[in-house]
Copies of this chain bind each other. A is one copy, B any other.
Amino acid sequence: MNVQTQMTTETMMANAIRVLTMDAVQAANSGHPGAPMGLADVATVLFNRFVTIDPKDHKWPDRDRFVMSAGHGSMLVYAINHLLGYDDMDAEQLRKFRQMGYRTAGHPEYGHAKGIETTTGPLGQGISTAVGMALAERMHNARFGDELVDHYTYVLAGDGCLMEGISHEAIDLAGHLGLGRLIVFWDDNKITIDGATDLSTSTNQHARFEAAGWHVLAVDGHDADQIADAITEARADGRPSMIACRTVIGKGAPNKGGSHKVHGAPLGAEEIAATREALNWPYGPFEVPAEVKSAWEAIATRGAEARAAWIKRKNISDNRDAFEVSLAAPDAKALDAAICAYKAQLSKDLPKVATRKASEMALEVVNETLPNSVGGSADLTGSNLTQTKGQGPINRDDFSGSYIHYGIREHGMAAAMNGIALHGGFFTYGGTFLAFADYCRPSIRLSALMGLPVAYVMTHDSIGLGEDGPTHQPVETIASLRAIPNLTVLRPADAVETAEAWQIAATSKSTPTLLCLSRQNLPTLRTSHCDANKTARGAYILRDVDGPRDVTLIATGSEVEIAMKAADLLAAEGIKAVVVSAPSFELFAAQDHVYRNHVLGTAPRVGCEAAIRQGWDALLGRTDGFVGMTGFGASAPADELYAHFNITAEAVADEARNRIKKDQ
């Protein structure tokens, strides 16, 4: 095929994206035609000349990753996947863009259709998740070599992605780590929703990326050869590359193109007809001429050949078994054995340690058992205690380590963790202070929405952190995290529960886990060993009574110790108090009614958590008691704060006495 023909074909391939996009948005009467039409040429050249994927095996580990960070341009992805011949993306899916029950959601949703590598839409998440993918690629490569792991991560990002703060964290991290296989295309169309970009930004993106250690190129985003040359150059460079693509938003639409009006609204029948005319596209809605279809399918064929060659390499590789293990679910049996042995030892040793320290101890077991565990912290390694013995740091010259110094970048860390999980090959966790869950909440939400089994290690989980004061003391944070669907929030009470929490986190399949851990020391309360993971039930009776109970005291984390002391006080008065430890409201909610009723009983209840009551209605009725916080904390030593805010055994006992009286 000579260049002239190729260019003509590519123009038609790109126009197919444009037309499918405008037709689908029109059919939905909703959606964003601007970005897909503007980026059609870039995407076509990228896929046609570079991307290696095989629609027949969308999970092939060594495929290139493609991330549409400007997720509102989802029709670009759907159009391409339709043209490539993914078997779950027929024309009917495009016709039913944004309709109930179809794969073609308003924004690309991971798991809804093949070939969607990550959920995007919240701006900046795609590019930041892609950094995690590109990092995982290098880490996997360091373990298994070029013959098994050797692919690129391509990202299309818009102005929104680059204005969001998370992009700063992601770009800096990628530049620092020298992720040369990450190539970002910036859709430089000079338009945002409010109008021209000069309404709100004057930043020189070229200089900005260079300042972060990136390789920067600029092209006319509608000139195929310029685009191709830049990609070739970018692939050859050792640094991550940003290719600024000067584009016209809604390119192809003769009247609305180039204006913010084409960003997020259908073109309308008239402009669609004019666009067909302008593009010389005489075909009906969702109709693609055979020559264009076969040009796109040739990409799939090339990918299938590459995959076949890769399978041959893998089958004769010495690394084959280890490679397969890295991609498989963690060895739950081995972990169970190791955790049980460790728990038995704890119940003998009865350590009095902070649960953040207990987390480090449990992580030693987890990381020894799971060879593909990779951890990190947002510059709080010595506080989060996330680095275990032998975990060497990752750096740009050596990706064989298993510890990532994420820097003071909670949001970038969480997005990178999502990317690592999506890439595959690793179990991954990362730490910060619990109060700073707020800094990475949009990415935590995506972990939950995508069902990625990453683990968040969040220490300093209450006023118990003491002197750092209200900015650092979570009071509403735990409630706000319990509110996120499909997130398991665990607040263990002692070293045993912490070990069990890590067992849950490391073997979770489609739910992220978030551990809330204390700064302050706590006694071991699980003094008799059992193999069963009690934490996995969400709540259980830690201290029982003979005969019927008078009251049930329910607590989590560091407050379980307080509830136990309250039970002692009550016992001295002849009041029989059952103590329930409730490390996870979500896991408890998933238990059957019989078990739940057994644990909660029918006696009055008192809850205790050094946090607000919101969310405790999962366990308490309106007339039950609660000992906790009602507002922000303060700066003082931890024990003084507990006394000041009246979160004490005496207060719990008082609440219990009051409830029992009322009940009688």
Contact = CB atoms under 8 A, between A and B. Distances in A.
A574 interface: no
A535 B176 CA distance: 52
A308 to B, nearest CB: 36
20 contacts: A28-B467, A31-B467, A71-B471, A100-B640, A106-B468, A121-B471, A163-B409, A192-B408, A193-B381, A193-B382, A200-B379, A204-B211, A449-B632, A476-B485, A479-B483, A480-B484, A482-B614, A486-B631, A617-B617, A622-B622
Given A164-B408, A405-B200, A636 B471 contact: no
Contacts of A71: 471
Contacts of A310: none
A31 B393 CA distance: 28
Given A119-B471, A405-B199, A469-B107, A169 B165 contact: yes
A284 to B, nearest CB: 24
Nearest to A624: B622
Nearest to A616: B617
Interface of A: 28, 30-31, 71-72, 98-101, 105-107, 109, 119-123, 159-160, 163-169, 172-173, 175-176, 192-195, 199-208, 210-213, 377, 379-383, 393, 405-409, 411-412, 435-436, 438-439, 441-442, 445-446, 448-449, 466-472, 475-476, 479-480, 482-486, 612-617, 620-622, 630-632, 634-637, 640-641, 644
Contacts of A382: 193-194
Please give me the 3 A-B residue pairs with the lowest Cβ-Cβ distance, nearest first: A165-B165, A617-B617, A200-B407
B213 A211 contact: no
Given A200-B379, A476-B483, 7 more contacts: A31-B467, A106-B469, A164-B165, A164-B408, A176-B201, A194-B381, A207-B207
A232 B632 CA distance: 41
Given A109-B470, A169-B163, A200-B407, A614 B485 contact: no
B208 A107 contact: no
B122 A439 contact: yes
A172 B201 contact: yes
Contacts of A31: 467
Nearest to A446: B471
Contacts of A480: 476, 479-480, 483-484
A536 to B, nearest CB: 21
B470 A449 contact: yes
Given A100-B640, A211-B203, A379-B194, A165 B163 contact: no
Contacts of A106: 467-469, 472, 635
Contacts of A165: 164-169, 409, 411-412, 439
A100 B479 contact: no
Contact of A439 (B203, B381, B393, B442): B442
B449 A445 contact: no
A210 B212 contact: no
Contacts of A201: 172, 176, 407
Given A207-B210, A482-B614, A167 B164 contact: no
Contact of A107 (B164, B631, B635, B644): B635
A204 B175 CA distance: 11
A635 B445 CA distance: 17
Given A164-B408, A169-B163, A471-B107, A98 B635 contact: yes
